[in-house]
Amino acid sequence: MADLTKSIPHILEQLILDGGVEVVNTDTALSVTVPSITDPDIAKVDVTVTGVALGDSVLTADPTEALPTNARFQGAYVSATDKITFVFGSEGGNVTGAAKTFVVTWLDRT
């Protein structure tokens, strides 16, 4: 149980450490190529991220610019050593692929 007499940042830090997290890592300029997708489908893209490993968890993955028309970002997960898989879908029309920049934060649990 968290010690409620401590500050919120300290409580969060303790919860992360108690959960087996070694380090919180962030890549602020990860290039992800959104694939071309025929509506209504999904597509996955593997992106090399040095230092990520199975057992780590993607905490956030946010584009820093608009995604292509009709593209929907559906999530990201660690799929192998040094690899995060991004999942995209189409919403209401085909998607023309394009490279976009993402900010990704992951929990190093290994």
* pTM score, whole prediction: 0.82
Q: Are 86 and 73 in contact (CB under 8 A)?
A: yes
Gap between the Cα atoms of 71 and 26, Å rounded: 24
Question: Which CATH number fits the domain that encloses residue 88?
Answer: 2.40.30
Look at residue 64 and tell me if it is in a domain: yes
Quote the CA–CA distance of 77 and 104 in Å, as a whole number: 11
Residue 51 CB coordination number (10 Å): 13
Q: What are phi and psi of 54, to 5 degrees?
A: -55, 135
Q: What is residue 49's predicted lDDT score, i.e. its pLDDT?
A: 96
**Which residues, at least 6 apart from 77, have a Cβ–Cβ distance to it below 8 Å?**
58, 84, 85
Q: Is position 17 within any domain? A: no
User: Residue 79's domain spans which residues?
Assistant: 25-108
Examine residue 20 and state whether it is found in any structural domain, yes or no.
Answer: no
Write out pLDDT tens, residues 94-108.
999 999 999 999 988
Q: What's the confidence (pLDDT) of residue 76?
A: 97
Q: Is position 104 within any domain? A: yes
2 within some domain? no
- For the chain, give the number of residues: 110
CA distance 6 to 22: 21
In a domain, 95, yes or no: yes
- Using CA atoms, how far apart are residues 38 and 63, in angstroms rounded to an integer? 21
Q: 9 pLDDT band (50/70/90 cuts)?
A: confident
